[in-house]
Amino acid sequence: METILTIKNCHRAKTVRPVNNPEAPEHEFGWRKKRYEQGMFSCRFNHIITAPDGSEIEVSDLNLKEWVVISWKYEENMEHLWSAGVNAFYNTSHSPEEKAAQAIREFEKELQDDLANIPADEKDAYAKRYTEWVSILFAKHSRIASAMIVGPARFPTRRNESASNAYDHALKEFGAWREKALKRIQQKIEDAKPQEQKDDEEWQAVRAQIMDSAGSIFAIDTQNAPYSRPLFVSNLYGRMETLAKRGKVELLKKAAELVRELNEKFKAKGGKEIFTSRHKFWKLVEAAEAEMAKKAERADLEDIEIEFEGGTIILAFSEDRLQIHHDTKPSPDVIQLLKTEAWRWSRNNCCWQRQLTRNACYSAARVVIGGPKRTCELDEITNYAQMLCQNLPA
């Protein structure tokens, strides 16, 4: 069935043809290509339709019905929410149709931007849920009114404030859902990558860090760039030291080889070595190997479970994680405290977890013993943390 060009769908039309000429070739549709000023604060737009021979036809919104859509820029759309969109702005705008069209266009653009980075098997579910959220937002906004539109007489100020707060809350929930959904999908994409690809991407990121810092250091040495050389060297070493603490032996070997090459190039061009031969940078490979050996030793240990009121702490040596399992979902204050303390929710393990370190033990004590309101003495938190630390291997 042919789709007539309308104000509701013209923004996503790609090619069209005259409605009364089925044999006509496809014409390229240029949405709002022509702008006309109508005073200081107003303007209108016309559309430009380009024929295969290059000739152009200017079309207004009133003449859209004379054209049929042949192809679209994208298929996913919210045209069915047009009435809901108009109702959403009926009491807050003198031109609710234009506001609805603008809102739908903006939501569709955001959806298309999201879908561009989502695997094909996830697109339909994401688009459906996104559209449902837009419907909810339109419904919430339809309860908001403006005194300039509906009139100031007996204006329901309190009810309007409540409706406005409800819309703001829904908008915040929508943003949180979108962020969480995109993170989940991105993590799924990362998990599906071959290990060789993951390793290469990780190395490219480390290489970029080294090259960026090295370029600044070389500029300081040869061009008197107004920066602090020790600061750049210290920053670069700190990043490499973090890799050592994570046991990234192969990455550090590649990093060391790259730094050696850069040292030779810099000296040949009148610069200085990034790290001198006596710098502790050159011992990071050994430190990473020691960390890997420590992790291997821990992996053979049996996990330890320690109960507390409302849950269990698990020293998961096999995964090198300290985990907090709650019997029931913790309160929002506790969840906020966990996030503040750098704990992350694990969907696979259904718990909050951090890398298994002494710092993590002290953090766990602050969460499960102290709590959001720090209801106990500092000594109690310290003693509990030390008890957890006693279970860590030397």
Q: What is the pLDDT of residues 27-54, one digit of tens each?
A: 999 999 999 988 777 888 999 999 999 9
Out of 240, 265, 295, pick the residue that ends a domain.
Answer: 295
Instruction: Mark whether 30 and 51 lie in a shared domain.
Output: yes
Report the predicted TM-score, pTM, of the whole model to 2 decimal places: 0.71
Question: Would 361 be classed as within a structural domain?
Answer: yes
Question: Would 42 be classed as within a structural domain?
Answer: yes
**Distance of alpha carbon 240 from alpha carbon 30, whole angstroms:** 52
Instruction: Mark whether 134 and 230 lie in a shared domain.
Output: no
Instruction: Mark whether 358 and 333 lie in a shared domain.
Output: yes
Instruction: Mark whether 174 and 91 lie in a shared domain.
Output: yes
Instruction: Mark whether 148 and 236 lie in a shared domain.
Output: no
User: 353, 324 in Cβ contact below 8 A?
Assistant: yes
Strands 67-72 and 304-308 come out as unpaired
What is the predicted pLDDT for the residue at 1?
64
**Distance of alpha carbon 275 from alpha carbon 259, whole angstroms:** 8
3-state helix, strand, coil in the chain (%, to 5): 55, 15, 30
Instruction: Mark whether 116 and 173 lie in a shared domain.
Output: yes
- Give me the number of domains the chain comprises: 4
Q: Residue 304: which of 356, 352, 266, 344 has the closest Cα?
A: 356
Instruction: Mark whether 179 and 165 lie in a shared domain.
Output: yes
What is the predicted pLDDT for the residue at 287?
95
Out of 276, 295, 314, pick the residue that ends a domain.
Answer: 295
Instruction: Mark whether 245 and 310 lie in a shared domain.
Output: no
Instruction: Mark whether 188 and 86 lie in a shared domain.
Output: yes
What is the predicted pLDDT for the residue at 299?
77
**Distance of alpha carbon 129 from alpha carbon 111, whole angstroms:** 11
Q: Which regions in the chain score pLDDT beneath 50?
A: none
Instruction: Mark whether 334 and 348 lie in a shared domain.
Output: yes
What are the start-end ranges of the H helices in 94-228? 96-115, 120-141, 147-150, 157-192, 195-223
User: 256, 297 in Cβ contact below 8 A?
Assistant: no
What is the predicted pLDDT for the residue at 39?
77
Out of 24, 56, 72, pick the residue that ends a domain.
Answer: 72
Instruction: Mark whether 12 and 57 lie in a shared domain.
Output: yes
> Residues, the chain, total?
394
Instruction: Mark whether 105 and 160 lie in a shared domain.
Output: yes
Question: Would 232 be classed as within a structural domain?
Answer: yes
For 65, the domain range is: 3-72
Q: Name the residue type at position 364.
A: A
